[in-house]
Amino acid sequence: MGIFKKKKEPVYFRGSDASVAQAFGHGDKITRLSFLIFGLGNIINKQIARGVIFLAMEIAYFVYLFDFGIGAIGNFITLGTVEQGQVYNEALGIYEYSTGDNSMLCLLYGVITILLTFAIIFVGCMSGKSAYATQFRKERGQHIPTFKDDLASLKEENIHSFFLALPITGIVVFTIVPLVFMILIAFTSYDHEHQPPGNLFEWVGLQNFSAMFSQGSKLAATFWPVLSWTLIWAVLATSTCYILGLLLALLINRKGTRCKGFWRFMFVLSVAVPQFVTLLSMRTIFNANGPVNVLLRDFGIIGATESIPFFTNPLYAKITIICINIWIGVPFTMLSTTGILQNIPAELYEAAKIDGASAPTIFRKITLPYMVFIMTPNLITSFTGNINNFNVIFLLSGGGPDSLDYYYAGKTDLLVTWLYRLTITQKDYNLGAVIGILVFIILAVVSLATYRHTGSYKDEGAFQ
């Protein structure tokens, strides 16, 4: 860091260094006006290109707003008022559909308009701060950066904006907008009886949440068992894979084991095969007439016409899925732990030996803490990954066997596969969104509670 301290006088005072309040408080009239008329301070001080860009953004926003945005906000509040109707066309002698409002699109455009408004407020703050920075430099007789300087700064002190611009746009469009949209759906009546464009749906407040938790309703009778199975599944799947995988890695890495590479290869093979291939073939292998049942019949363990209901009996299905998941997950853990086991710095061990530490002490004091330091985030991600483990359940059992006591769910459905059924098959988007929010809350509680206490979050730079 030493080299930066030599530059005592800041070369540029950057707008982003001042807070909005500072800029507004210390700024002159033109700076303050720049919060309303974007780019004003820049244009007056000959930063034409920068100012024009700010101004163009503002003009574009207001054109959008008056052309479309205000209507969109209105529709967002009502979610549409004109229902699609049938009008008798006398000339043709048929009923025609009159176009009604599409609640879904009203909601979507509303979300987009609100986000754009936030964005333009942010741009306005930037414009004000930028005007203040220019004023600040002018007062001190410092060089006012030209547009060329601005572009050059993208390679140096503003390189993060340059690098993050595109990825963040992608994240906003493909993750944040859809997410906000789906969260809002949880507060509407967008279910199978209110499907746009034929029908309108409306805001219903917390009604969907209360339906999910109200005593004695079919939804609540589905939610709690599905939730408990999700948690049992996540704990079992994560712990079995981690413990067995670590044991396997230790077994292969022990001194006495010969042909380590060969054994590792045998297990890596199953990781290398694409997961959906293994899952789909496992499904056929454990089918009622699949090879496992055929083998059992051949050995006379079950009768010639009998078959073990691997996926059709609830308890068997759960056990089968966890076993298959062990088959899939153990080699993964084996792989990642092998690398880490081998990379524990040798000096640590040497130092411990010189101090006369015994093997168990070395394991307890060096190997284990090291593994925990590296693997805790890993364990948390695999736990949350298992709560959201759509593929394994969907491709193996499809959530089945179905249960009549449940609201469109099966005995092995996780919350996420139930979400899938509710939205894709059942078209109850509002209920699906409620499940999504609940899953989020569970994950947030679990991971924030644990993740923030791990060494690798608190001390990212431990190995830097």
219 Cα distance to chain centroid: 26
Give the residue, chosen from 45, 336, 367, 450, that forms a contact with other proteins under the rule CB under 8 A.
Answer: 336
Interacting residues with other proteins between 235 and 264 (CB under 8 A): 248, 251-252, 254, 256-258, 263
Give the residue, chosen from 35, 201, 229, 267, that forms a contact with other proteins under the rule CB under 8 A.
Answer: 267
Compute the least distance from the CB of residue 82 to other proteins, in Å. Answer: 20
* Count, residues near other proteins per rule CB under 8 A: 99
Give the residue, chosen from 231, 308, 340, 371, that forms a contact with other proteins under the rule CB under 8 A.
Answer: 340
Closer of 321 and 419 to other proteins (Cβ) = 419
Closer of 10 and 345 to other proteins (Cβ) = 345
Binding mask 376-415 for other proteins (x = CB under 8 A): -x---x--x---x-xx--xx-------------------x
Binding mask 6-35 for other proteins (x = CB under 8 A): ----------x-------------------
Determine, following the binding rule CB under 8 A, whether residue 95 of this chain makes contact with other proteins. no
Give the residue, chosen from 126, 282, 321, 393, that forms a contact with other proteins under the rule CB under 8 A.
Answer: 282
Determine, following the binding rule CB under 8 A, whether residue 105 of this chain makes contact with other proteins. yes
Determine, following the binding rule CB under 8 A, whether residue 455 of this chain makes contact with other proteins. no
Interacting residues with other proteins between 142 and 201 (CB under 8 A): 155-157, 159-160, 163-164, 166-168, 170-171, 173-179, 181-182
Closer of 43 and 230 to other proteins (Cβ) = 230
Determine, following the binding rule CB under 8 A, whether residue 335 of this chain makes contact with other proteins. yes
Compute the least distance from the CB of residue 124 to other proteins, in Å. Answer: 17
Give the residue, chosen from 10, 85, 198, 339, that forms a contact with other proteins under the rule CB under 8 A.
Answer: 339
Give me the phi and psi of 397, to 5 degrees please.
-110, -15
Compute the least distance from the CB of residue 464 to other proteins, in Å. Answer: 6
Give the residue, chosen from 345, 368, 372, 405, that forms a contact with other proteins under the rule CB under 8 A.
Answer: 345
Binding mask 202-241 for other proteins (x = CB under 8 A): ----------------------------------------
Q: Which residues pair with 89 in a beta bridge?
A: 94
Compute the least distance from the CB of residue 408 to other proteins, in Å. Answer: 16
- Say if residues 432 and 423 touch (Cβ distance below 8 Å): yes
Determine, following the binding rule CB under 8 A, whether residue 425 of this chain makes contact with other proteins. no
Rounded CA-CA distance 217/240 in Å is 35
Compute the least distance from the CB of residue 433 to other proteins, in Å. Answer: 7
Closer of 87 and 445 to other proteins (Cβ) = 445
Closer of 99 and 284 to other proteins (Cβ) = 284
Rounded CA-CA distance 62/68 in Å is 10
Rounded CA-CA distance 83/38 in Å is 41
Determine, following the binding rule CB under 8 A, whether residue 113 of this chain makes contact with other proteins. no
Compute the least distance from the CB of residue 91 to other proteins, in Å. Answer: 31
Binding mask 293-312 for other proteins (x = CB under 8 A): -xx-xx--------------
Q: What is the 3-state secondary structure (H, E, C) of the chain?
A: CHHHHCCCCCCCCCHHHCCHHHHHHHCCHHHHHHCCCCCHHHHHCCCHHHHHHHHHHHHHHHHHHHHHHHHHHHHHHHCCCCCCEEEEECCCCEEEEECCCCHHHHHHHHHHHHHHHHHHHHHHHHHHHHHHHHHHHHHCCCCCCCHHHHHHHCCCCCHHHHHHHHHHHHHHHHHHHHHHHHHHHCCECCCCCCCCCCCCCCECCCHHHHHHHCCCCHHHHHHHHHHHHHHHHHHHHHHHHHHHHHHHHHHHHCCCCCCHHHHHHHHHHHHHCCHHHHHHHHHHHCCCCCHHHHHHHHCCCCCCCCCCCCCCCHHHHHHHHHHHHHHHHHHHHHHHHHHHHHCCCHHHHHHHHHCCCCHHHHHHHHHHHHHHHHHHHHHHHHHHHHHCCHHHHHHHCCCCCECCCCCCCECCCCHHHHHHHHHHHCCCHHHHHHHHHHHHHHHHHHHHHHHCCCHHHHCHHHHC
Neighbours of 9 (CB within 10 A): 6
Compute the least distance from the CB of residue 185 to other proteins, in Å. Answer: 8
Determine, following the binding rule CB under 8 A, whether residue 419 of this chain makes contact with other proteins. yes
Query: What are the structure tokens assigned to 195, written together?
Result: 């499907």
Give the residue, chosen from 280, 351, 368, 449, that forms a contact with other proteins under the rule CB under 8 A.
Answer: 280
